[in-house]
Amino acid sequence: MKSRGMPTIGQRNRLQYIILGLLNQRPQTGYDLAKAFENEIGEFWQAQHSQIYPMLKRLEAAGEISHEDTVTGEKLAKKQYTLTAAGREKLVAWVSQPSPELTPSKDEFILKLYFIKTASDPRIQPMLREQYQLHQSQLHHLQQRQETVFPNQAAIDQAYGHYLILDHAIERESHYVEWLAQYLEK
């Protein structure tokens, strides 16, 4: 007697919790969730719709979410998903659990630098310039979003988590840009 359909223990699969968290904010469709992974939380988690729709079915089968069919216009069918009590419990349990693992991250550009052995290699400066532009424009984009989404304190108080995540993303990009600038020759 071993498996019961559910993974043994030591679960990974954070996607399910993130979806529960998003649905806890308000009922949403799979499409809406996919947009969230492109926008507000895209800096810290990614998922395609092809991963989201099956997960919604799985969560519904597990009784953690439920859906209501609605129609937009003449016949465009939508499924609005909502958390059940069980889903809300599971979400709270996840958030309350410690997160003692350092998140592994991957950075192809930094690795390319790693494989360049000498400081005088002529490839270094163009590479740094390319990344500088890339991260600089990403930083601008994030800063603009912050200005439009959080123009005042009231907006911050209403979506504190969203504010934190954007602030963290901006700080991260900002320091990445500074690090690049440090090695860029004027």
Partner DNA sequence: AGAAAACATGTAATTAATTACATGTTTTAA
Partner DNA sequence: TTAAAACATGTAATTAATTACATGTTTTCT
The CA distance from 29 to 54, in Å, is 13
The residues in 33-52 that bind DNA, with binding defined as CB under 7 A, are: 34-35, 46-51
The C-alpha atoms of residue 149 and residue 167 are separated, in whole angstroms, by 12
Q: CB-wise, 38 or 70, nearer to a copy of itself?
A: 38
Q: Which of 143, 115, 134 is nearest to 176 (CA)?
A: 134
CA angle 118, 122, 127 (to 5 degrees): 100
Q: Which residue's CB is nearer to DNA, number 70 or number 125?
A: 70
Q: Binding to DNA by residue 53, rule CB under 7 A?
A: yes
Question: Element (H or E) spanning 79, and its range?
Answer: strand 76-83
**Which residue type sits at 100?**
P
Q: Is-contact 177 135, C-beta < 8 A?
A: yes
30 binds, among DNA, a copy of itself, none (CB under 5 to 8 A by kind): DNA
**Which residue type, as a one-letter code, is found at position 13?**
N
Quick one: tokens of 66? 């439920």
Closest approach of Cβ 154 to a copy of itself, in Å?
Answer: 12
Instruction: Please say which residue, 5 or 104, places its beta carbon nearer to a copy of itself.
Output: 104
User: Closest CB to DNA among 73 and 126?
Assistant: 73
* Least distance from a copy of itself to the Cβ atom of residue 33, Å: 13
Residues that bind DNA (CB under 7 A): 7-8, 10, 12-13, 15, 29-32, 34-35, 46-51, 53-54, 56-57, 71-79, 104, 106
